[in-house]
Structure 1
Amino acid sequence: MSERFVHIRGIDIHVAMNDDDSLPTIVLLHGFTGSTATWQEVIELFKGRFRTVAIDLTGHGKTAMPEDIARYSMEQQVEDLEALFNMLSLERFTLLGYSMGGRVALAYTVQYPRRVTSLILESSSPGLKTAEERADRKAADSRLADRIVADGLPAFVDFWERIPLFDSQRGLSEEKKLAVREERLNQCEMGLANSLRGIGTGSQPSYWQQLHALNLAVLLITGELDIKFVNIAREMMSYFSNARHETIVHVGHAIHVENPAVFATMVEKHILS
């Protein structure tokens, strides 16, 4: 595994790569409070089967944290990825995104479908359908961003790991829970707050009406304990022309963390089928 920083469009983006370019490539995009570290177990399982390119999204991990909130918008993130892929000479790949990273992956694929051979969305959505929903969520995201800055990162992480979305992670081993917590604590208050304000679900465009135009193979993966995203995935199925929805038992939102072996097997099956 090699790590590098790529300077594009005025910022440095951190990338962790398995450089065996003779293998099919999977680009990995993490969720909110995540980083390339979230994929560590999955990457190990992919060794010898796939080349992996894991990216720290803007404001997360080791990637730059601009002060300008507009620099975190979905449109800016998509253009950053396109420039990054050009710099890395990544012409065709499977794009896999988790939660926030899934929203980014979908947005990128809508804008640049020619690069993406297949799309895998883990516990993700195309955004909110109505302007009213987006306004309400944007206000909630802004309040949470203010809380992160006011209370500091440790207090926010204490709060974040107790939200219902992550209830199923209480059953993880102490070692794995500590690793997830450390990943969150390695973030920066400004980066997380600006990410919420710039690319939160309330700020991004809705992509529901663009789903039908995507002709590539799509895999939607959800955990059976994550009822909200199971239902979102079921609804998305009626919009896609070529999609499959798989629900993994006994896990919640972060399937790749809670059951990486089953997750990796499902991804491999999708790509090679």
Structure 2
Amino acid sequence: MTLKKYKFNYYLNVNINTSLIIFLHGFMGNINEFDEAIKLLGEEFSYLTLDLPGHGKTQVLGGDEYYKIEPTAQAIINLLDELKIDKCYLIGYSMGGRLALYLTLHFPERFIKVVLESASPGLATEADRLERVRSDAQIARKLSRSIIKTDFAAFLSNWYNQPIFGSLKNHPKFERLLENRLQNPLIGLTKSLQFMGTGNQPSLWEKLKENTTPLLLLAGENDEKFRDINTEIANISKVAQLKVISNTAHNIHFENTVEFVQNIREFFQK
């Protein structure tokens, strides 16, 4: 079983007679990524959080190919089976959103409704994927050269200068976010970027047309790239609805946790 190639670090919080939400964090996140959102949701749901391969304390026991999206998705399904979770809600952010969409399209019977935050179905053409693989390989080399913590901190500071993150660095809790990111293993992050990066992900654009699972697409007002991508997703999938969250960029659940939770609650309880 694929599960045996992984030793997942996960936390299952069960509230009696409630539906369960599984949360999938983004690149350089970890099991604590959605803690503030879960606090606001309280005892309305049960929760499964985990460290994705290359992040936190999850161990990949197989080769590098087990950092890829396909075996990772199967391993998550196996984990749900092991925990006797038949159907649940699913939320994924950025990289975790790409993984969440892959899970939705390949295992639709397992998910009631799905929230994709700043996510994409991958790149549509082979040329775009190859270019992204080259780009991610360059970033991975820079990351692998972060020998000491201050090097990694400098890498992170540069990472969050990307336009998609808007003014995230001005957020009052940004230093706390950085500290959380610094807990991740550098080798694991490098492999995650190399093998689960957008360039290595199979394109989901065509399969998206077949989707029957209700999707809530969240995009930040100040994240033009992903606002455009998710507008296109909403145009393709009849069961997808797009909500643009004001005064936020790529990391919506961090920048505006209250509105993030409000949208989740309304979508899941309809």
Q: Given that residues 29 and 54 in structure 1 are in contact (C-alpha distance below 8 angstroms), is that contact kept between their aligned partners in structure 2?
A: yes
Q: Which residue does 2:115 correspond to in 1?
A: 120
* Per-residue deviation, residues 92-131 of structure 1 (Å, max 9, x unmatched): 1111100000000011111111010011100000000000
Letter in 2 for 1:57: L
Q: Which residue does 1:41 correspond to in 2?
A: 36
Query: How far is 1:164 from its partner?
Result: 2.4
The structure 2 residue matched to 1:211, chosen from 208, 212, 221, is: 208
Distance (whole Å) between structure 1 residues aligned to residue 153 and residue 248 of structure 2? 26
Q: Rate the CA distance shift 1:129–1:73 in 2: closer, same or farther, 3 A.
A: same
Matches within 5 A, 1:80-119: 80-119=75-114
Q: Aligned pair 1:240/2:266, yes or no?
A: no
Q: Given that residues 66 and 191 in structure 1 are in contact (C-alpha distance below 8 angstroms), is that contact kept between their aligned partners in structure 2?
A: no
Higher deviation after alignment, 15-24 or 179-188: 15-24
Q: Which residue does 1:3 correspond to in 2?
A: none
Letter in 2 for 1:260: T
The structure 1 residue matched to 2:7, chosen from 3, 12, 21, is: 12
Letter in 1 for 2:162: I
Q: Which residue does 1:264 correspond to in 2?
A: 261
Q: TM-score, normalised by structure 1?
A: 0.93
Q: Given that residues 14 and 62 in structure 1 are in contact (C-alpha distance below 8 angstroms), is that contact kept between their aligned partners in structure 2?
A: yes
Q: TM-score, normalised by structure 2?
A: 0.94
Letter in 1 for 2:145: A
The structure 2 residue matched to 1:255, chosen from 252, 256, 268, is: 252
Q: Which residue does 1:59 correspond to in 2?
A: 54
Q: Rate the CA distance shift 1:150–1:67 in 2: closer, same or farther, 3 A.
A: farther
Q: Given that residues 8 and 84 in structure 1 are in contact (C-alpha distance below 8 angstroms), is that contact kept between their aligned partners in structure 2?
A: yes
Give the superposed CA RMSD.
1.4
Q: Which residue does 2:127 correspond to in 1?
A: 132
Q: Which residue does 1:150 correspond to in 2?
A: 145
Distance (whole Å) between structure 2 residues aligned to residue 35 and residue 171 of structure 1? 22
Query: How far is 1:8 from its partner?
Result: 2.9
Q: Report % sequence identity.
A: 32
* Per-residue deviation, residues 185-225 of structure 1 (Å, max 9, x unmatched): 00111111000111100001000001121112110001100
Q: Given that residues 220 and 243 in structure 1 are in contact (C-alpha distance below 8 angstroms), is that contact kept between their aligned partners in structure 2?
A: yes
Q: Given that residues 16 and 54 in structure 1 are in contact (C-alpha distance below 8 angstroms), is that contact kept between their aligned partners in structure 2?
A: yes
Letter in 2 for 1:102: G
Q: Aligned pair 1:170/2:169, yes or no?
A: yes
Letter in 2 for 1:107: Y
Helix, strand or coil: the match of 1:17?
strand
Query: How far is 1:162 from its partner?
Result: 2.5
Query: How far is 1:137 from its partner?
Result: 0.1
Letter in 2 for 1:160: W
Helix, strand or coil: the match of 1:151?
coil
Q: Given that residues 160 and 169 in structure 2 are in contact (C-alpha distance below 8 angstroms), is that contact kept between their aligned partners in structure 1?
A: no
Moved segments of 4+, more than 6 Å: none
Number of aligned residue pairs: give it.
265
